[in-house]
Chains A and B, each alone.
Chain A
Amino acid sequence: MHEMTTSLALAGELFAQGDSQLLAIVLLSLRVSLTATLLACLIGMPLGALLAVGRFPGRRTLIVLFNALMGLPPVVVGLIVYLLLSRAGPLGQFGLLFTPTAMVIAQTILIVPIVAALSRQVVEDAWREYREQLRSLGANRLRAARTLLWDGRFSLTTAGLAGFGRAVAEVGAVMIVGGNIDGVTRVMTTTIALETSKGDLPLALALGMILIAVVLLINIAAFLLRQWAERRWG
Chain B
Amino acid sequence: MGGKALGMSHESNCTWLHLDQLGLTEGNIRIIDAITLKVGAGRTAILGPNGAGKSTLLRLMHGLLRPSAGKLHWPQTLSQGMVFQRPVMLRTTALANVAYGLKLRGVATKERQQRSMTALARVGLADFADRPARRLSGGEQQRVALARVWALEPQVLFLDEPTASLDPASSREVERIIKEIAASGTRIVMTTHNLGQARRIAEEVIYLEGGRVLEQTPAESFFRQPQTTAARSFLQEETP
List A residues at the B interface (Cβ < 8 Å): 129-130, 132-139, 143, 147, 150-151, 153-154, 232-234
Contact = CB atoms under 8 A, between A and B. Distances in A.
Interface in B70-97: 80-82, 84, 87-93
23 contacts: A132-B82, A132-B84, A136-B62, A136-B81, A136-B82, A137-B101, A137-B104, A137-B148, A137-B152, A138-B104, A138-B105, A139-B104, A147-B100, A151-B90, A151-B91, A151-B92, A153-B91, A233-B132, A234-B89, A234-B132, A234-B133, A234-B134, A234-B135
Contact of B88 (A133, A138, A154, A233): A133
Interface in B89-126: 89-93, 100-101, 104-105
Nearest to B89: A234
Contacts of A138: 101, 104-105
Nearest to B160: A132
Given A136-B64, A136-B81, A130 B88 contact: yes
In the A-B complex, the 4 residue pairs with the closest CB atoms? A234-B134, A133-B88, A234-B132, A136-B82
A164 B64 CA distance: 39
Nearest to A153: B91
Nearest to B158: A136
B111 to A, nearest CB: 17
A234 B59 contact: no
Contacts of B148: 137
Interface of B: 59, 62, 64, 80-82, 84, 87-93, 100-101, 104-105, 132-135, 148, 152
B136 to A, nearest CB: 9
Nearest to A155: B91
A133 B92 contact: no
Contacts, number: 48
Contacts of A154: 91
A147 B90 contact: yes
Contacts of B92: 151, 233
Given A136-B82, A138-B104, A234-B135, A129 B88 contact: yes
A136 B145 CA distance: 12
Contacts of B87: 133
Contact of A133 (B84, B91, B152): B84
B59 A132 contact: yes
A161 to B, nearest CB: 19
Contact of B100 (A135, A137, A153): A137
B101 A233 contact: no
A132 B104 contact: no
A154 B93 CA distance: 15
Contact of B64 (A130, A135, A139): A135
Nearest to A139: B104
B190 to A, nearest CB: 14
A103 to B, nearest CB: 35
A50 to B, nearest CB: 18
A234 B148 CA distance: 18
Nearest to B148: A137
A229 B143 CA distance: 24
Nearest to B100: A137
Contacts of A134: 88
B196 to A, nearest CB: 27
Contacts of B134: 233-234
Residue of A139, A232, A233 with highest tally of chain B CB at under 10 A: A233
